[in-house]
A and B are shown apart, each in its own frame.
Chain A
């Protein structure tokens, strides 16, 4: 009897060891596959830090030009499910509790220098490029949504369903998390983000894009001259997107 038990126990342990070994060996098989999954990091240079300055005094309630441009550029469209549809940029209407003063402004990924989303991401899919742009590598994202829990700005969306209006420059996929890329595909071609371009084209001039590391850039000069804020500055995330007028 006790031999029987011993035997089955041995088998049980052997199976366990084999299982564990399998888990360790299998990953090697896919390593090649993944090696080329990170094209985004290459062009970025740490001498730059891309950022944005948003002047809420020039941003009107009801104006949605930046949001529309972003959707068009990145293929983010509504599917009629407002609670699950991704939003990379949105207009927030604000009312100060004490004074009753109201503001309207666009909110998107703040491209934090100390991004909580990157800290918590278990796989490293959330990452910050050398030039400060925070991205999700959608080939590595497992869709755990921990980054969404960690982001203080509700900047991230989970792709809840299949969609078919992909922009080839902007890969997106069901089951992964995504957020504003600061139009990295345009920035790498020396263009401005689509929202900024649309804001200027509409003659609102509420959004300014530039290099925060370059003291001579317009954005740095404006930040040096005027009172600007980082949203939730108390969290000390050193955001790349700054606001003026709030």
Chain B
């Protein structure tokens, strides 16, 4: 029943697409090698902006990876058939994106060659090390989960493993958020709000990715997604996008409330140049309000193409949001002497500049391509096409 979905006539096209994705992965690896060989001096990163564009990509992928699993959780844990049918694809995307994200993170290290040290010398107090543990278990649990969903003999366990995966993905996103929450000295990050905010961001980013991949799979197989299902998924996406907006507002309002943070907020919201623009135009206008308008529009929201557009806008907004949070948060100088104006040859007291370089961008794209490659190959070998016939949809 399965593999004929990719009919022979499309095999040529499939391998062509696979080839193109493979080239992007290679470009990413090449960029990483180049950075490793010459050192990070060839990137836009500096001693001021220590985490650059690769981290934006990596965090997007990791956050989206844990979020996309939500689709499967709603199916298995809460027993909703529409989502159950989509569980396997969601699980696959979760593994693929986490792998892509970790690849970027790993290759951006100053010493990527020390992978084994990174995995064996664990400082258990470090949230980073905690994350390594969270990721490893996540891979295992999701792989098991996929097994219970794909193998009929294992179906009975699906609910339990699904529950474990659900809990673990919450822990994983909390862990990602906590990486920033621990940076107490940095104005942008020292807040407990980041962990829940990352969870809600993961729901939104993950579902947006899912919608796009699902649309590609349906059109590749010349199938049309049931309107009722599309309607439900788009409503869910709209809810998540609105929730991220809510958290964004709370985050900035909380910062504004604390006097010592007002300078930072002024920077991001009013005179931060590229960060201010990315915030208002990228995150809020294009990434939040535009997709919400599409998703709630009575006509447009019924059209698959528009929903894919909305999902792409959500992803665009996600990148803008992470860029502002990550790079914008570092661009604003540390306040070492809070009541004084500072200056030095080490750029104390100044807004730090950063211009992302091509290798950084290629490395990030390489991570996305790696996730796409894993997804495409797995979808070719096993059946990940949502199968709504076997899961009765209650209209």
Write out the residue numbers on chain A whose beta carbons fall within 8 Å of the beta carbon of B340.
94-97, 103
Are A92 and B343 interface neighbours, CB within 8 A? yes
Contact partner, B46, options A83, A103, A232, A246, Cβ 8 Å = A83
CB 8 Å contact bits of B327-340 with A (1 = contact, 0 = none)? 00010001011111
Are B122 and A176 interface neighbours, CB within 8 A? no
Are B36 and A122 interface neighbours, CB within 8 A? no
Contact partner, A123, options B50, B123, B330, Cβ 8 Å = B123
Are A9 and B151 interface neighbours, CB within 8 A? yes
- A8-B382, A94-B337, A158-B47 known; A149 vs B110 contact (CB < 8 Å): no
Q: Count of chain B residues with Cβ under 8 Å from any Cβ of A? A: 63
Write out the residue numbers on chain B whose beta carbons fall within 8 Å of the beta carbon of A145.
50-51, 110
Contact partner, A98, options B179, B339, B344, Cβ 8 Å = B339
Are B116 and A30 interface neighbours, CB within 8 A? yes
Are A86 and B339 interface neighbours, CB within 8 A? no
- A122-B126, A142-B114, A145-B51 known; A9 vs B119 contact (CB < 8 Å): no
6 nearest A-B pairs in the assembled complex, by CB-CB distance: A143-B110, A175-B110, A152-B185, A122-B128, A83-B46, A124-B123
Write out the residue numbers on chain B whose beta carbons fall within 8 Å of the beta carbon of A161.
38-41
User: Which stretch in A45-53, A113-121, A198-206, A209-217 binds the other chain?
Assistant: A113-121
CB 8 Å contact bits of B305-329 with A (1 = contact, 0 = none)? 0000000000000000000000000
Is B345 engaged at the interface, CB distance under 8 Å to the other chain?
yes
Are A151 and B185 interface neighbours, CB within 8 A? yes
Is B303 engaged at the interface, CB distance under 8 Å to the other chain?
no
CB 8 Å contact bits of B167-210 with A (1 = contact, 0 = none)? 00000000000010011111000000000000000000000000
Are A160 and B337 interface neighbours, CB within 8 A? no
Write out the residue numbers on chain A whose beta carbons fall within 8 Å of the beta carbon of B126.
119-122, 146
Is B259 engaged at the interface, CB distance under 8 Å to the other chain?
no
Is A231 engaged at the interface, CB distance under 8 Å to the other chain?
yes
* A-B contacts besides A8-B382, A96-B340, A154-B334, 5 pairs, CB < 8 Å: A95-B341, A107-B336, A120-B128, A176-B111, A235-B184
Is A58 engaged at the interface, CB distance under 8 Å to the other chain?
no
Contact partner, B120, options A27, A159, A232, Cβ 8 Å = A27
Is A164 engaged at the interface, CB distance under 8 Å to the other chain?
no
Are B345 and A91 interface neighbours, CB within 8 A? yes
Is A34 engaged at the interface, CB distance under 8 Å to the other chain?
yes
CA distance A103 to B353 in the complex (A): 26
**CB of A4, distance to nearest CB on chain B (Å):** 8
Are A144 and B185 interface neighbours, CB within 8 A? no
CA distance A204 to B330 in the complex (A): 35
CA distance A176 to B114 in the complex (A): 11
Are B337 and A146 interface neighbours, CB within 8 A? no
Write out the residue numbers on chain A whose beta carbons fall within 8 Å of the beta carbon of B382.
5, 8-9, 12
Write out the residue numbers on chain B whose beta carbons fall within 8 Å of the beta carbon of A244.
none
Are B50 and A93 interface neighbours, CB within 8 A? no
Are A142 and B118 interface neighbours, CB within 8 A? yes
Is B383 engaged at the interface, CB distance under 8 Å to the other chain?
yes
CA distance A118 to B117 in the complex (A): 16
Are B47 and A143 interface neighbours, CB within 8 A? no
Are B111 and A175 interface neighbours, CB within 8 A? yes
Are A232 and B47 interface neighbours, CB within 8 A? no
What residue of chain A has the Cβ atom nearest to residue B143's Cβ? A16
CA distance A84 to B48 in the complex (A): 8
Write out the residue numbers on chain B whose beta carbons fall within 8 Å of the beta carbon of A150.
182-183, 185
Are A27 and B185 interface neighbours, CB within 8 A? no
Count class of interface residues, chain A:
35 or more
Write out the residue numbers on chain B whose beta carbons fall within 8 Å of the beta carbon of A153.
334, 336
Write out the residue numbers on chain B whose beta carbons fall within 8 Å of the beta carbon of A144.
109-110, 118, 128
Main secondary structure of the interface of B (DSSP, over half): loop
Is B274 engaged at the interface, CB distance under 8 Å to the other chain?
no
**CB of B31, distance to nearest CB on chain A (Å):** 16
CA distance A5 to B152 in the complex (A): 12
**Contacting residues of chain A (28-77) with chain B, CB-CB under 8 angstroms:** 30-31, 34
Are B1 and A175 interface neighbours, CB within 8 A? no
Is A196 engaged at the interface, CB distance under 8 Å to the other chain?
no
Are B150 and A122 interface neighbours, CB within 8 A? no
CA distance A98 to B125 in the complex (A): 40
Is B348 engaged at the interface, CB distance under 8 Å to the other chain?
yes
CA distance A225 to B156 in the complex (A): 74
Q: List 10 A-B contacts (CB under 8 A).
A: A84-B45, A90-B348, A96-B340, A107-B344, A120-B128, A123-B118, A142-B118, A150-B182, A175-B40, A177-B110
**CB of B288, distance to nearest CB on chain A (Å):** 27
Are B182 and A120 interface neighbours, CB within 8 A? yes
Are B336 and A231 interface neighbours, CB within 8 A? yes
Is B147 engaged at the interface, CB distance under 8 Å to the other chain?
yes
Are A160 and B127 interface neighbours, CB within 8 A? no
CA distance A205 to B338 in the complex (A): 27
Are B39 and A12 interface neighbours, CB within 8 A? no
CA distance A4 to B286 in the complex (A): 46
- A12-B381, A175-B36 known; A149 vs B348 contact (CB < 8 Å): no
Is A87 engaged at the interface, CB distance under 8 Å to the other chain?
yes
**CB of A224, distance to nearest CB on chain B (Å):** 24
Is B243 engaged at the interface, CB distance under 8 Å to the other chain?
no
Is B347 engaged at the interface, CB distance under 8 Å to the other chain?
yes
Are A123 and B117 interface neighbours, CB within 8 A? yes
CA distance A87 to B345 in the complex (A): 9
What residue of chain B has the Cβ atom nearest to residue A174's Cβ? B39
**Contacting residues of chain B (336-386) with chain A, CB-CB under 8 angstroms:** 336-348, 353, 381-383
Are B341 and A152 interface neighbours, CB within 8 A? no
